Amino acid sequence: MDVEVELFTSEKSGRGLKAKRNLNPGSTVLSSEPYAYLLSKKQKGVYCDFCFKKQDGLLQCSGCKYMKYCNRNCQKMAWNEHHKAECAALKNVMPKRPPDFVILLGRLLWNMQHSNSAKLPEKNSILDLESNYNKLSQDQKEALMNFLVILHKFWSPKPLPSQVKDNKMLLELCARIKNNSFAICNEELQSDVGTGVYLNCSFINHSCEPNCVAEFNMRTLKIRAVKNIAAGEEVLISYVDLFAPSFERQQELMSIYRFQCTCNSCNAKTDDDQMMQDFDGKMTESKLSSVKDTLSQMEELRKQSDYQKIKVLVEGCVKRKILPHENIYMAKVLDFGMDACIELGILTQAFEFGSMALFSYKLYLHANHPMLGIQLMKLGKILLHEEKNQDAMQFLREAFKILAITHSPNSSVLTELQNLLGQCSAEMQNLENSLD
């Protein structure tokens, strides 16, 4: 284990990690490479399958014609690390493609078979992680069994690693992956780039009031402190999106991780009433489901890059005053509006939508939440494009205060932010000089 944290066991939450010394906001608590990982199907051709770099014109593997890499070097490293056997297996089932989960499982089994101490930087084994298999619903168990049927077709005739003795153990391994994998997001926090199993980081327990956040730099996971953590205090991250009322967080935690969160925020249902606020009291169930429909409609439109339609939908919601700004679903709607208008180059309107959403971000997220930093940065960038330099500077500085804590100095987000700050102060200087 790293020097900053150590493993401990408590009656309440089982195993967890606690700080060995006092940690400040911005400290890296833990850094980890994935034990097994996979780029998600919908991002194929956008990011390199090996290093997760975003690039146009990726090279396709000539064997399976499925994996795509940013250069020969990544292709070679992937081949040696996990792709050799996988490529043959993928070729065997062509033109069918196994589900992502099955490919990830195949890689994990391959790593178990072939990992020696050199391949495994961390001392823990995948079998040390919690599986919660017995807590799964019948449907969930059946879904895992279906994956195994596909796995046996896809991965045969390769033998299983010696640690996995029978199908029951294999099922438990699947449950372990489901229970412990991280959604790998890009630095702008879209959470659908890929999935990774990170051994050490999996011991970190959940809280809706976490003192740490996860940062992904391509496929490397860093756990960074966002609050002061005292020596001996437990290190906690959130497994779910915190921009949601407690019942939604609880639903997600129960369905995926099979536990009930008992953090202060869940117990007190902090902010729930305000998050669900309508103009005249709490929003009704029917209004909730109708705004959720609108959100999934916009999600679909975003996949099709139909930003014009998203813009029209958001304008409609604002004009009809469907919900007040502080309502969390309205903030999500406005966010779609901001991103769509940025894509369409309609910056004044993008700022209008984005700053309305910012109001809720500030209301519900903790002061160092990365989503808040990213939102401030987007708004600062818009202001800079519109040559409102003084306002831009204020937003960008506010963004920097947060993102310097949540992101590594060499991350592309911080590099871009520093460039924007430099550009902004240069333009302010130019203006001053021209006035002289």
Q: Does 237 bind Zn ion (CB under 5 A)?
A: no
Among 38, 39, 48, 314, binds Zn ion (CB under 5 A): 48
Q: Given candidates 197, 226, 261, 350, which one binds Zn ion under the rule CB under 5 A? A: 261
Single out the residue of 30, 36, 64, 402 in contact with Zn ion (rule: CB under 5 A): 64
Rank residues 206 and 378 by Cβ distance to Zn ion and give the closer one: 206
Tell whether omega for the bond before 245 is within 30 degrees of 0, i.e. cis. Answer: no
Q: Would you give the end-to-end CA distance of the chain in angstroms?
A: 59
Q: Which of residues 191-210 bind Zn ion (CB under 5 A)?
A: 208
Q: What is the DSSP string of 28-80?
A: EEEEE--SEEEE-GGGBTTB-TTT--B-SSPEEPTTTS--EESSHHHHHHHII
Among 5, 29, 51, 199, binds Zn ion (CB under 5 A): 51
**Separation between Cα atoms, residue 403 and residue 377, nearest integer Å:** 9
160 binds Zn ion (CB under 5 A): no
* Nearer Cβ to Zn ion (39/399): 39
Smallest distance from the beta carbon of 78 to Zn ion, in angstroms? 8
Please state the closest distance from residue 346 (CB atom) to Zn ion, in A: 34
Report, in Å, the least distance between residue 258 CB and Zn ion: 15
The number of beta carbons lying within 10 Å of the beta carbon of residue 84 is: 13
Among 307, 214, 295, 203, CA closest to 248: 295
Residue 235 touches Zn ion, criterion: CB under 5 A: no
Q: What are phi and psi of 14, to 5 degrees?
A: 75, -135
148: alpha, beta or left? (left if phi > 0; alpha if psi -120 to 50): alpha
Tell me phi and psi for residue 417, to 5 degrees: -60, -40
Does 93 bind Zn ion (CB under 5 A)? Our answer is no
Q: Which stretch binds Zn ion (CB under 5 A): 41-49, 286-294, 329-337, 373-381?
A: 41-49
Asked whether the beta carbons of 369 and 390 are under 8 A apart, the reply is no
Site track for Zn ion across 373-412, x = CB under 5 A: ----------------------------------------
Q: Is 269 left (phi over 0), alpha (psi -120 to 50) or beta?
A: left
Beta bridge partners of 55: none
CB 68 to Zn ion: min, Å:
9
Give the residue with the Cβ less far from Zn ion, 70 or 376.
70
Residue from 29, 78, 175, 266 that binds Zn ion (CB under 5 A)? Answer: 266
Nearer to Zn ion, 51 or 213 (CB): 51
Least Cβ distance, residue 262 to Zn ion (angstroms): 7
The owner of tokens 């809706």 is 208
Chain residues that interact with Zn ion, rule: CB under 5 A: 48, 50-51, 53, 61, 63-64, 67, 70, 74, 87, 208, 261, 263, 266
